[in-house]
Amino acid sequence: LFLGVMLQRSGLLWLAVLITVWVSSNAQDGDKEEETTFDLLQISNINRKTVGAKLFRGPDPTIPAYRFIRFDHIPPCKPEKLKKIVKLIRQNEGFILSATLRQDRQSRGTILALEGPGISERQFEIISNGRANTLDLIYWVDGFQNMISLEDVDLADSQWKNLTVQITGENYNLYVGCDLIDSFILEEPFYEQLKAENSRMYVAKGSIRENHFRGLLQNIQLIFDTSIEDVLRKKGCQRSQSTEVNTINESTEILHLSPAVTTEYVGEKPEKKAEFCDRSCEELGTMFTELTGLRIVVNNLADNLQKVSEENQIMWELIGPNKTLKNQSVCWQDGRVFADNESWIVDSCTKCTCQDSKIVCHQITCPAVSCADPSFVEGECCPVCSHSDDSEEGWSPWSDWTKCSVTCGSGTQMRGRSCDVTRSACTGPHIQTRMCSFKKCDHRIRQDGGWSHWSPWSSCSVTCGVGNITRIRLCNSPIPQMGGKNCVGNGRETEKCEKVPCPVNGQWGPWSPWSACTVTCGGGIRERSRLCNSPEPQYGGKPCVGDTKQHDMCNKKDCPIDGCLSNPCFPGAECNSYPDGSWSCGPCPAGYLGNGTVCEDLDECIAVSDVCFKVNQVHRCVNTNPGFHCLPCPPRYKGSQPYGVGLEVAKTEKQVCEPENPCKDKTHSCHKSAECIYLGHFSDPMYKCECRTGYAGDGRICGEDSDLDGWPNNNLVCAANATYHCVK
């Protein structure tokens, strides 16, 4: 009765533990990394500037979380770090993998993989298979693939999970939060054959497109020289006290089944700090509704626990206050209880033993049988002979065992002996048979890889001008296996595509200097002009708006009656008259050289060689008569476009061109809810746009993303060639 009630109520206790764990799922632990802890995202140089890596906010706001959308751009771990990791794996006989992830529902994705030495070869990979609800460890030994699956892991459900994978010695264990989900005994230490030379370790990158990880990854680490207990303790897991509370020992007078629930957190505990709420009113309303339902469930659990306490009292009355039970370790399996060191048969070929409250199982090893045709009894694993009369009198010694009848899988071996009929009737068999087994049979055949059909050409990367089109093919028809050759050739082809030329609107060039006045006194006219050539309108672009010439009155003063009336001096040079009717000319005007009477144009571009910005030592100065002007700054530069007349102006008004930074200059085309990231002066394009946290889209257009899954709440109207994450 006691055991039955404990089994019946244990489910209620575990349900209460899971509920309290769910309530506390935002706690985190910010312990610092030790020397033997490797942050795989950090040593792979994965950051916000990594192409194809989108930055998100995870459970720990101090550590970035990433979603990968371009897996061909994921960088591998640094080679020097990989060598140290492989060395530690061999020294520690395995490793511990810790990660926080949110995997897309029903998806299959690689968490960690070691690739090499060949291009398509892999040494091992850990895959979360949401379709089969398993965590698969796949490794290759001597060219043969082996796969071990942990079942009912519940990782691919679009919820944040803090998992710890232990692969040390013969153990392959999975912990989600503080709970051991499943475990397996490894048959061969594959980690002893890992190689770092010409190998690459990737995070989230699968061997084929279907195996890329779909979801968010945060704080993925490889841990060495640390026990699994210490790793879980650093995550906030504490040893449950429920076992000690409910232990039956010799001093127990009343058996108390403690209804207290200890909370074991699933995840890491961060330091508490004030933050602004980033949840919408609709989300908060849904949360309060769920909490109301949770309160009802907790109340029902409290009632059930009260009933357990009452039934516990009844059991104590049945046992009696004068009876004591010896303190002992027990094991539970399939609703049955077994004492310490007790053994039982699970199925015909598996024997289990209870050791310190842990169940240890192993396959039964069959002894050799003393007959040629042994028989199998239903419910028994080993073959038996139909008779037991086996005397050694008259028999020769047994011969050596024959070779196993198979080279893989399970087979048989035989040995024989002869009878000396002159000495004895020789009772017993003359042939013995026993089972033998090797590694599992691999039914695959060697085959070379073959290319699939080319995909259709992609759309042109631009809508006007010259762009690119791309098509790809995969080496999967068939996939190379058993040492088969890889596909020869390229898996990607790119060609240029040319659209209609992009329209170019016209822009005015600088004004030319004013011309000389038509008269020296009495009022004249001067003019200046400009050209629509910076740039000229092309391919349907709009022409410049405005006049090409300007006129202005000049020399409005009355003309004196003196020797200068005949304009003996060069236009612009000062004329000085004297009482005797003589005259003299002053210096030539700015931009000219001469004696005042005869003046020639001064070439400021030659006199001051650095007056204008040079590109590849090419002069960009234009001399005019008189004066000069500089051409506009070259593409991807910004700056002044000086012009003027004379040597002094050329020396003081030099052209300065600086590289453009659209992000800094606010000339980018990113959405107001997106962040402009400058990629470099010689990059094409020079910048990229990424929607900020809480928004999703292609960067040019961003929409609200309330659940932070990388997809907007509503469909966005993005460009035809950039539609990624524009669908809700």
Taken in order of first residue, the domains within the chain and their CATH numbers are 37-233 (2.60.120.200), 602-659 (2.10.25.10), 662-727 (2.10.25.10)
695-715 confidence digits (pLDDT tens): 888 888 888 888 888 888 888
CA distances to 23, 158, 280, 285, 350 from 294, in Å:
10, 21, 21, 14, 43
**Chain center to CA of 79:** 19
Is residue 52 pLDDT above 90, yes or no?
A: no
Is residue 266 pLDDT above 60, yes or no?
A: no
Is residue 24 pLDDT above 60, yes or no?
A: no
d(CA 146, CA 184): 14
451-478 confidence digits (pLDDT tens): 999 999 999 999 899 999 999 999 988 8
pLDDT at 94: 92
What average pLDDT does the segment 152-167 reach?
A: 92
Q: Which carries the bigger pLDDT value, residue 704 or residue 302?
A: 704
What average pLDDT does the segment 262-288 reach?
A: 54
Q: Cβ distance 508 to 520 under 8 Å?
A: no
Query: What's the token pair of residue 4?
Result: 């039955």
Nearest residue to 40 via CA among 157, 165, 153: 165
Torsion sign (Cα): 279, 285, 286, 289: positive
Task: Measure the CA angle with vertex 247, ends 245 and 248; round to 5°.
Answer: 135
321-342 confidence digits (pLDDT tens): 444 444 557 787 766 777 888 8
Q: Which residues contact 601 (CB under 8 A, 6 or more apart)?
A: 591, 592, 593, 623, 625, 626
Q: Which helix (H) or strand (E) holds 638?
A: strand 637-639
pLDDT at 445: 81
d(CA 628, CA 178): 78
Task: Measure the CA angle with vertex 687, ends 681 and 689; round to 5°.
Answer: 170
What average pLDDT does the segment 619-648 reach?
A: 86
Q: Cβ distance 250 to 326 under 8 Å?
A: yes
Nearest residue to 40 via CA among 76, 88, 5: 76
- Mean of all residue pLDDT scores within the chain: 80
Lowest mean pLDDT among 322-326, 595-599, 684-688: 322-326
pLDDT at 211: 87
170-183 confidence digits (pLDDT tens): 889 999 999 999 88
- Any long-range contacts for 475-479 (C-beta under 8 Å, 24+ apart)? 475/120, 475/449, 475/450, 475/451, 476/208, 476/449, 476/452, 477/450, 477/451, 477/452, 477/453, 478/447, 478/449, 478/450, 479/449
What average pLDDT does the segment 663-686 reach?
A: 86
Query: What's the token pair of residue 611?
Result: 């007056």
**Chain center to CA of 291:** 33
Nearest residue to 546 via CA among 520, 571, 518, 509: 509
Q: Cβ distance 269 to 26 under 8 Å?
A: no
CA distances to 522, 523, 659 from 518, in Å:
10, 8, 44
Q: Which carries the bigger pLDDT value, residue 213 or residue 392?
A: 213
pLDDT at 471: 93
Q: Cβ distance 613 to 656 under 8 Å?
A: yes
Q: Which carries the bigger pLDDT value, residue 346 or residue 272?
A: 346
DSSP summary character for residue 566: G
Task: Measure the CA angle with vertex 384, ends 381 and 387; round to 5°.
Answer: 160
Q: Which carries the bigger pLDDT value, residue 308 or residue 647?
A: 647
544-575 confidence digits (pLDDT tens): 999 999 999 999 887 766 777 778 888 888 88
Q: Which carries the bigger pLDDT value, residue 99 or residue 719?
A: 99
Query: What's the token pair of residue 424?
Result: 């004895």
Is residue 268 pLDDT above 70, yes or no?
A: no
pTM of the model: 0.34
Q: Which carries the bigger pLDDT value, residue 271 or residue 647?
A: 647
What average pLDDT does the segment 487-497 reach?
A: 93
**Helix (H, G, I), strand (E, B), or coil: what is residue 242?**
helix
Query: What's the token pair of residue 455?
Result: 């995909």
Q: Which carries the bigger pLDDT value, residue 437 or residue 257?
A: 437
pLDDT at 4: 44
